[in-house]
Amino acid sequence: MHTTPSHYNLPTRITLEALGDQHLGIVRLVKSRIIRKDAEKIAEMARQIISVNANVKVSLICTRNICSKSIRLLEEEGIGIVFREE
């Protein structure tokens, strides 16, 4: 499983982490709250990853600072959420 952002045509500042076989996590550990606009960008990144490798499952790795609208949007896009402490 590639964890290099450039492999998926993503900016190099994005951090990816392998969560298992064919499961990739987009790491977003920030102190501020993840709002819907952030979730839309994350969903766009996930679609880019899936366009390169259709068999991969994508999740967001973040703290619990995420709004309910963002959670709903990510669920609709089929993106899982893995909560982590900073």
Nearest to 1 by CA among 22, 27, 32: 22
Number of structural domains found in the chain: 1
In a domain, 2, yes or no: no
Q: At residue 1, does pLDDT exceed 80?
A: no
- pLDDT, tens only, 21-55: 999 999 999 999 999 999 999 999 999 999 999 99
- Residue 3 in any domain: the answer is no
Q: Is residue 76 in a domain?
A: yes
Dist CA 24 CA 2 (whole Å): 9
Closest CA to 27 of 13, 17, 12: 17
Structure confidence at residue 85 (pLDDT): 85
Q: What is the CATH number of the domain that holds 53?
A: 3.40.1350.10
Record the pTM: 0.92
Domain that holds residue 69: 8-83
In a domain? residue 1: no
Whether the pLDDT of residue 59 is over 90: the answer is yes
